[in-house]
Structure 1
């Protein structure tokens, strides 16, 4: 089994769309797709996987996950919201993502004082901090797990380590997803 450090490195935890990655001019859909494909290429599970497609963007627009596009061009604010949708849709339903972003879309379009870019920078900083904590937690879980595996009388130690880690990671993922869903429900109830 590869080391937890190599596993964390292979996950490309710091693959995010930074504000510097987003041009200051508005982009057409094909340019948006190219930007996301380029930025998130290392996070794809295989070559056939698509990060973002025209259908996805059209469905997000029809579902009102972001405020309307003008003249078929996407602003920096649209790209920030699409980036957040991309990250959230891995754990939440599209309906939950919409509920979560409804008020944000109102703030972006109605509140001249609200700075989405400043909010996004804060989000990216929190993501970076979380990635560092994740690496430490990953190693701690592995260390704890190897102690437990050694207690078992089975010669297929590598497989059992992998199985136990997969089960543990999916369970932890479920904890976080359920916590996020509870918070989405609170947002939905407040509106």
Structure 2
């Protein structure tokens, strides 16, 4: 049985597509997929899982989760939006994600949102969340003495995940 500290390390929870990872030139779809694979490829549950596919990107574009794509090329703005979708889709429905992104895109059109500054703040927030999470889980792990207690930890983590998801959904509804 693996130690929780080892599991957390293997998960690479801090992996994030940063602004410095994003090239200053527009990318074709295959390049976008490769960029996401390079950053997130080792964080998937199963080695055969794809981080991003052409179908996913096309569905995001058709669903208007992304700004219009020009000449089959994706800008840094698209990369930031795809990264947000990637992070959010593990918990929120595509409809909820669309609601959030519609709001952000409208703020960008209105000139009241600098997406790069927003994404930078988002990245900092994620880093802090990972730190807090690791501290809390490792503290709980110290209390474990049996397999049954480990199952209780699993149940507790799932419960906390559900509580956070419910609050997030309610906040989306309030937008």
TM-score by length of structure 1 reads 0.87
Structure 1 residue 66: Cα displacement? 1.5
1:160-171 superposed matches below 5 A: 160-171=148-159
The corresponding residue for 2:68 is: 68
SS in 1 for 2:125: helix
The corresponding residue for 1:181 is: 169
The corresponding residue for 1:115 is: 114
Q: How far apart, in 2, do the equivalents of 1:140 and 1:52 lie?
A: 34
Structure 1 residue 12: Cα displacement? 0.4
SS in 1 for 2:25: coil
C-alpha root-mean-square deviation of aligned residues, in Å?
Answer: 1.3
Structure 1 residue 48: Cα displacement? 1.2
1:133-148 superposed matches below 5 A: 133-144=132-143, 146=144
SS in 2 for 1:114: coil
Q: How far apart, in 1, do the equivalents of 2:38 and 2:110 lie?
A: 32
Structure 1 residue 113: Cα displacement? 5.2
1:86-97 superposed matches below 5 A: 86-97=86-97
Give structure 1 stretches of 5+ with no counterpart. 151-156
TM-score by length of structure 2 reads 0.94
SS in 2 for 1:70: coil
CA contact (8 A) 2:26 2:76 kept: yes
SS in 2 for 1:48: coil
Q: How far apart, in 2, do the equivalents of 1:122 and 1:174 lie?
A: 25
Structure 1 residue 139: Cα displacement? 1.5
Q: How far apart, in 2, do the equivalents of 1:121 and 1:102 lie?
A: 19
The corresponding residue for 1:154 is: none
Q: How far apart, in 1, do the equivalents of 2:69 and 2:152 lie?
A: 46
